[in-house]
Structure 1
Amino acid sequence: MGEATRHDVGEVLIVTGMSGAGRSTAANSLEDLDWYVVDNLPPQMLKPLLDLTELAGGVLPRVAVVVDVRGRDLFSDLPDAMRALRERRQIRVMFLDASDEVLVRRFEAVRRPHPLQGEGTILDGIRRERARLAAVREDADVIIDTSSYNIHQLATKVADLFTEEGTARHTLTLQSFGFKYGLPPDADLVADMRFLPNPFWDERLRPFTGEDAEVREYVLAQTGAAEFLEAYSAALRPVLEGYQRENKSHSVVAVGCTGGKHRSVVMVRELAERLGAVPGVAVRVTHRDLGRE
């Protein structure tokens, strides 16, 4: 009698398929989704790895293992290893494939031999690999034909398949800063709040920052403030949606004023409230220059 299948442990995904079909791209996409990725693992090591994930409990909730013909003779044990694992654990297998013509083109583009071609041609290696992988492909849960995909489209496809419902696909950092201290070097987009009156010149408001209600009320009452917030939020929505389609997982929108203490701080907070409602986007707020003297 075999062991009962475990349902109380984290997910395990085996990533395999044809050389040149995009395993590395798929693995990188999974890593961006916070999967723990193990590359080029011999099939014989799958069981010890699963034992480790069970001992680790919630520390490794989602594990992806890339297994392929780089393991040479060890790879022949993969079908048996997969069947044995399915008897004790819920696992999924993702198989990446592409047409022979496309695979040949990709190997020629990077000027590398196929791992199984030996003294033959790239096509000889591809045919040998297909024969070895036939049983694995037949037992796969997900098959992705990448013939018509570029690396960005494949990464997006993997993200669509393996992103948990409700999980953010894109992290947006909204950062306030002061122009007098220089532009943030990692900003993707920059907005300038110096079109609004500066609270610094109001002696009553000077001791406060954009985190205080007095400054917030003053800034938002100025002509153009509300119009900017609505228009800029609306303009950023399609950008953030496009970033998700293009699998760009992080971006930084910098919002500046003279010293980075009043106007930019208020507007970053207001933008965060509006953009936090964009599906698939997690918003974080930072204030680069708020603590400067």
Structure 2
Amino acid sequence: MTARPDSGVTMDETTHTAGDVLIVTGMSGAGRSTAANALEDLGWYVVDNLPPQMLGPLLELTEHAAATLPKVAAVVDVRGRDLFDQLPHEIRGLRSHSNARIVFLDASNEVLVRRFEAVRRPHPLQGAGTLVDGIRKERERLAEIRESADIVIDTSSLNIHQLATRVFELFSDERAARHTLTIMSFGFKYGLPTDVDMVADMRFLPNPFWNEELRGLTGQDERVSEYVLSQEGAPEFVDAYAAALRPVLQGYQRENKRHAVVAVGCTGGKHRSVATAEELARRLSDEPGVAVRVMHRDLGRE
């Protein structure tokens, strides 16, 4: 065995093919357990509450046993207390030797407080202080890791079932593609999504809501889709935006960025954004190496 300087990882000199490795971390109360359960349902071997110092040996194990452990997820969080401070160092070491990815679960402070109060449990870092004190300390300690994460999932507006669905969308059958693109429609009146890479605003088009024949339908209905996509400026926008995304997706694959989210918004997330998201997905579905999924965040809301 040889230890590589400052890497935090001990590696064998023999070359092996590693399986997929995910490091699942994030804010306490943001849904790490739900995400871990969903990954387990997808066939991942999940290790919970792993000390950061064990990430190196875990990676080495996956390299020696890739056939039997093709997909491994390690949940690492502040329950490790002082040991957790080593996580940034260990992650830098892992990234220098492997394709390990970081999934970071986050939520707003207000939502985290409500969740802790609902289960009547203290925050792991609050000590003699308040819940808000513990959340603030944790956010400070996780800032560097969040910044370097490959995937950030904001669970503020997700229940446990929606979070599990999101994990399924991200990690099911992903071996067939080098990059997964999620095109998400949303309504600006319900808030801008926080865990997205690019945002398109479709409010420059006439709103089908003001057409009584179309108001009760959605952008998934052919009549609404034809109405939206035939408006002045709509074909030009879709053509140009799809063309602009293609080199971006190719670049993501070259940089080994495995997932991206494009958010397409309108006022209520029911007509214009939905029709445009569906059309963009259709246009990009033949992009080599890219799996395209569509998600309608606010469809069904009143």
TM-score (normalised: structure 1)? 0.54
Equivalent residue for 2:104?
A: 95
CA displacement at 1:166 relative to structure 2: 8.5
Equivalent residue for 1:130?
A: 139
CA displacement at 1:7 relative to structure 2: 8.2
1:59 and 2:52 equivalent? Answer: no
What do residues 83-115 of structure 1 show as CA deviations (whole Å, max 9, x unaligned)? 101111111100000000000000000000000
1:136-155 matches, cutoff 5 A: 136-155=145-164
Equivalent residue for 1:117?
A: 126
Structure 1 pair 134–165 and aligned structure 2 pair: CA distance change class (3 A): closer
C-alpha distance in 2 between matches for 1:102 and 1:65? 25
1:35 maps to a residue whose letter is W
C-alpha distance in 2 between matches for 1:70 and 1:165? 30
8 Å Cα contact 2:116/2:123 also seen in 1: yes
8 Å Cα contact 1:21/1:97 also seen in 2: yes
Equivalent residue for 1:251?
A: none
Equivalent residue for 2:22?
A: 13
- % same residue: 70
CA displacement at 1:158 relative to structure 2: 0.6
C-alpha distance in 2 between matches for 1:165 and 1:92? 14
8 Å Cα contact 1:11/1:90 also seen in 2: yes
Equivalent residue for 2:59?
A: 50
What do residues 132-175 of structure 1 show as CA deviations (whole Å, max 9, x unaligned)? 000000110000000000000000001100111599xxxxxxxx
Equivalent residue for 1:158?
A: 167
Equivalent residue for 1:74?
A: 83
CA displacement at 1:51 relative to structure 2: 1.2
8 Å Cα contact 1:94/1:144 also seen in 2: yes
Structure 1 pair 165–43 and aligned structure 2 pair: CA distance change class (3 A): closer
Look up the SS of the partner of 2:36 in the other structure.
helix
Q: Which runs of 5+ in 1 are unaligned?
A: 168-293
8 Å Cα contact 1:116/1:125 also seen in 2: yes
Q: Which moved more, 1:45-54 or 1:126-135?
A: 45-54
Look up the SS of the partner of 1:95 in the other structure.
strand
CA displacement at 1:121 relative to structure 2: 0.5
Structure 1 pair 34–45 and aligned structure 2 pair: CA distance change class (3 A): same
C-alpha distance in 1 between matches for 2:53 and 2:175? 35
CA displacement at 1:9 relative to structure 2: 1.7
Runs ≥4 residues deviating over 6 A: 1-4
Equivalent residue for 2:43?
A: 34
2:152 maps to a residue whose letter is I
Aligned residue pair count: 167
C-alpha distance in 2 between matches for 1:46 and 1:65? 8
C-alpha distance in 1 between matches for 2:146 and 2:29? 16
CA displacement at 1:54 relative to structure 2: 1.4
What do residues 56-83 of structure 1 show as CA deviations (whole Å, max 9, x unaligned)? 1310000000000000000011011001
Q: Looking at CA atoms only, which structure, 1 or 2, has the larger radius of gyration?
A: 1
Q: Which runs of 5+ in 2 are unaligned?
A: 6-10, 177-302
8 Å Cα contact 1:7/1:89 also seen in 2: no
1:160 maps to a residue whose letter is E
8 Å Cα contact 1:7/1:90 also seen in 2: no
C-alpha distance in 1 between matches for 2:93 and 2:168? 28
8 Å Cα contact 1:14/1:94 also seen in 2: yes
C-alpha distance in 2 between matches for 1:35 and 1:46? 16
C-alpha distance in 1 between matches for 2:173 and 2:87? 27
